[in-house]
Structure 1
């Protein structure tokens, strides 16, 4: 399952990030990495952006970034 498939209030564990090194490094700097748990805090109307919380940090992601993050729903 990909992150963009989750809805507001859903929780998940990051399984893998399918992105290039630059994006992986940027996400890692925010704490978005394999094994971390996240909560979806909100989505825009057309789901073009998502707000997630990872380890107390709130992060906004574009839809194309969220599609690259594989999660397991908790």
Structure 2
């Protein structure tokens, strides 16, 4: 599953980041690496952007970026 499939309030562990090289590098540079735990804080009314908590800071991602982050749910 991808980060895009997660719901507000869920935690997910990053399994990998795919997609275009430039986007992938940017996400990894922001701390979204394998094993990182993400918390989905908010989703805008139209679904874009998605606000997550990653390594102690808040980060907003576009839907297309969230679809490139493969995760597994930790809990509901």
TM-score range relative to shorter protein: over 0.9
Aligned to 1:63: 63
How many residues align? The count is: 74
Q: Structure 2: any 5+ residue segments left out of the alignment? A: none
**After the TM superposition, which segments of 4 or more aligned residues of structure 1 sit over 2 Å from their partners?**
none
2:25 and 2:70 mapped to 1: Cα distance? 16
Aligned to 1:27: 27
Residue 2 of structure 1: how far off its partner (Å): 0.8
**Per-residue CA distance 1:14-57 (angstroms, 9 max, x = gap):** 01111122112111121111111100010011212100111102
1:34 and 1:50 mapped to 2: Cα distance? 19
Aligned to 1:45: 45
Aligned to 2:14: 14
